[in-house]
Structure 1
Amino acid sequence: MKGISYLFFVAATICAVVGMGWGIQMSASGDHMLSPAHAHLNLIGWVSMAIFGIYYHVTPKAALGMLPKLHLGLAILGVITIVPGIVMAINATGEALAKIGSVLTILSMILFLVIVLTKGRDTST
């Protein structure tokens, strides 16, 4: 694995390790108040990023150009803003970061849809 696929997997694995550590901390403390943020870290950070990495690995043509790089940047920026933003919203210290992270995350997914629709089809057969 190389290129954009590898970078998505690095980001996904970092999110998984942080998410697991956070889950252990919540379990040990008995305080699960922040579980919605933890769930978003695992689902958007680990699962979505790993799926993106797999897609780019099995569809190398889709990994070419600037759009996949923009996708990676939006996806990472989305995770690193939405997760602390959800923590802030739960703690009633503001919702702006969660809203920004949500917008970045959906823009990332819309961009992925565009990439899948325009570059993901194998026309060699």
Structure 2
Amino acid sequence: MKGIAFLFFLTAVLCVSIGMGWGIQMSASQDHSLYGAHAHLNLVGWATMGLFGLYYAVTPQAAQGVLPKIHYALALSGVVLMVIGIVMVLTERSEMPVVIGSFLTIGSMLVFLYTVFRHGIGRAA
């Protein structure tokens, strides 16, 4: 069965694929004005989501229950709103999506902090 670790990894790979394509587009057009959004898509979307997935794969007891699903929902909505929000800020539109996305992202990290504290890392002894 494909569980929460798979969802985090799949999301991470989708984010980095989009991020790489975006980076190529920026390079080809020589327009790097949205580099901040591109960087956050790669860092939060690829690196952070991938690490969350790795953790849940290595620590399967932490992947059980509703909390990992809440964690995924917070992380996914956070990265999407953060990246869209950074684009909006850089193009001089609303700041609200990046603010909401940032709070969702830190909420996701606090859920992860609790999860790591509660379950440690690795399989239960």
TM-score range, shorter chain: over 0.9
Q: Tell me how far 1:40 sits from its aligned partner.
A: 0.2
Q: Tell me how far 1:123 sits from its aligned partner.
A: 5.4
Q: C-alpha separation between the residues in 1 aligned to 2:26 and 2:124?
A: 49
Q: Tell me how far 1:86 sits from its aligned partner.
A: 0.2
1:109 aligns with 2:109: yes
Q: Tell me how far 1:94 sits from its aligned partner.
A: 1.3
Q: C-alpha separation between the residues in 2 aligned to 1:18 and 1:81?
A: 15
Count of residues paired in the alignment: 124
Structure 1 counterpart of 2:19: 19
Relative to the length of structure 1, the TM-score reads: 0.95
CA contact (8 A) 2:4 2:63 kept: yes
Q: C-alpha separation between the residues in 1 aligned to 2:84 and 2:7?
A: 22
Q: C-alpha separation between the residues in 2 aligned to 1:21 and 1:94?
A: 25
Structure 2 counterpart of 1:70: 70
Superposed CA RMSD: 1.3
CA contact (8 A) 1:12 1:50 kept: yes
Amino acid aligned to 1:71: H
Q: Tell me how far 1:2 sits from its aligned partner.
A: 3.2
Q: C-alpha separation between the residues in 2 aligned to 1:14 and 1:118?
A: 29
Amino acid aligned to 2:97: L
Amino acid aligned to 1:87: V
Amino acid aligned to 1:8: F
Which runs of 5 or more residues in structure 2 are unaligned? none
Structure 2 counterpart of 1:85: 85
Q: Tell me how far 1:119 sits from its aligned partner.
A: 2.0
Structure 1 counterpart of 2:34: 34
Relative to the length of structure 2, the TM-score reads: 0.95
CA contact (8 A) 1:61 1:120 kept: no
Q: C-alpha separation between the residues in 2 aligned to 1:13 and 1:59?
A: 20
Structure 2 counterpart of 1:43: 43
Structure 2 counterpart of 1:6: 6
Amino acid aligned to 1:81: L
Q: C-alpha separation between the residues in 2 aligned to 1:55 and 1:108?
A: 14
Q: C-alpha separation between the residues in 2 aligned to 1:123 and 1:68?
A: 17
